[in-house]
């Protein structure tokens, strides 16, 4: 079974390819440069070097968000269209769960997060049971302040994993004190091979048509429209 993994949901662009239980290739960059332009050349180079024809792929795993709206769409569109045209299924995997996997073997709570602007973060809470990652609090968009009070009540050590750790570490340390654990730079960066591992753990892949991005929130225009329809103010 050959699976191609694609992640373009943040500034990190990662692709990987596994054959059964062997990781054959992994390519990651971490800088803000056009994923739409660079994704397919990267896939092409990887498959060419491995001498694997696209038609020899058995499934595609993709980070489906949350993350950058445009970034997530580039990955999901590429994954679902390749899968549809090749007649193979897709594993849509949470971009946060993918990041949380960097904290496997940690005994407490694992908190991956991404900055979502205006003091909010995309986040969720995971635990590792020795074999699998389990969801403790589902992926969501939330004010960092509100999230930290939820986490504080858990009264357990929390491993924070994020590319934006430095931006928010002050507030996190101030609120949670000695509950806080941190990872190194590699743990703070999503790795595409995590998508492969998580895909293997999933029981079933999805048909290509049905996979859609997880934005974790409505578009701004839709929020405003709903607010006006319900006759309340838009905050």
Partner 1 sequence: MTIKTDIKDNEIILAIETSCDETAAAVIQGGNQVLSNVIASQIQSHKRFGGVVPEIASRHHTESITGILEEAMTKADVSFSDLDAVAVTEGPGLVGALLVGVNAAKAIAFSHQLPLLPVHHIAGHIQAARLEREWDYPALALVVSGGHTELVILQADGEYEVIGQTRDDAAGEAYDKVARTLGLPYPGGPQVDKLAAEGTPDVKLPIAWLEPDSYDFSFSGLKSAVINTLHNAEQRGEVIPPENVAASFQQSVIEVLTEKTKRAAEQYQVKQVVLAGGVAANQGLRHAMENMFASSSVELTIPPFSFCTDNAAMIGAAAHVQWKKNITADWDLNGVPDLTLY
Q: Is the dihedral of CA 5, 6, 7, 13 positive or negative?
A: positive
Q: What is the largest CA-CA distance in the chain?
A: 59
Near partner 1 by CB under 8 A: residue from 129, 130, 184, 221: 221
| Minimum CB–partner distance for residue 41 and partner 1 (Å) | 5
Near partner 1 by CB under 8 A: residue from 13, 15, 16, 78: 78
| Minimum CB–partner distance for residue 25 and partner 1 (Å) | 16
Of 113, 27, 34, the C-alpha closest to 71 is: 34
Write out the binding residues for partner 1, residues 84-103 only, by CB under 8 A. 84-86
| Pair 12, 163: CB distance under 8 Å | yes
How far is C-alpha 123 from the geometric centre of its chain's CA atoms? 10
40: contact with partner 1 by CB under 8 A: yes
39: contact with partner 1 by CB under 8 A: yes
Mutual orientation of helices 165-176 and 144-153 as an angle, nearest 10°?
50
- For partner 1, which is the closer residue by CB, 36 or 135? 36
Among the listed ranges 30-38, 102-110, 115-123, 178-186, the one in contact with partner 1 (CB under 8 A) is 30-38
CA distance 111 to 107: 12
202: contact with partner 1 by CB under 8 A: no
Near partner 1 by CB under 8 A: residue from 61, 74, 151, 197: 74
């Amino acid at each position: 079974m050959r699976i191609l993994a694609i992640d373009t949901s943040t500034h990190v662009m990662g692709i990987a390819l596994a054959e059964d239980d062997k990781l054959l290739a992994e390519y990651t960059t971490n800088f803000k440069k056009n994923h739409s332009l660079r994704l397919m050349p990267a896939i092409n180079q990887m498959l060419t070097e491995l001498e694997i024809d696209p038609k020899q792929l058995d499934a595609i795993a993709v980070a489906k968000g949350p993350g950058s709206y445009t970034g997530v769409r580039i990955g999901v569109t590429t994954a679902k269209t390749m899968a549809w045209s090749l007649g193979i299924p897709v594993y849509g995997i949470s971009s946060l769960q993918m990041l949380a996997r960097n904290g496997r073997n940690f005994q407490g709570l694992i908190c991956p997060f991404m900055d979502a602007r205006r003091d909010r973060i995309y986040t969720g809470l995971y635990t590792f049971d020795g074999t699998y990652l389990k969801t403790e609090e589902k992926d969501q968009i939330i004010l960092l302040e509100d999230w930290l009070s939820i986490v504080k009540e858990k009264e357990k050590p929390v491993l924070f994993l994020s590319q934006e750790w430095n931006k928010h570490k002050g507030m996190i340390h101030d609120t949670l004190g000695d509950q806080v654990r941190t990872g190194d730079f590699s743990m703070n960066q999503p790795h595409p091979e995590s998508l492969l591992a998580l895909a293997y753990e999933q029981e079933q892949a999805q048909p290509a048509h049905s996979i859609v991005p997880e934005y974790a929130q409505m578009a701004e225009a839709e929020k405003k429209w709903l607010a006006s329809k319900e006759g309340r103010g838009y905050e």
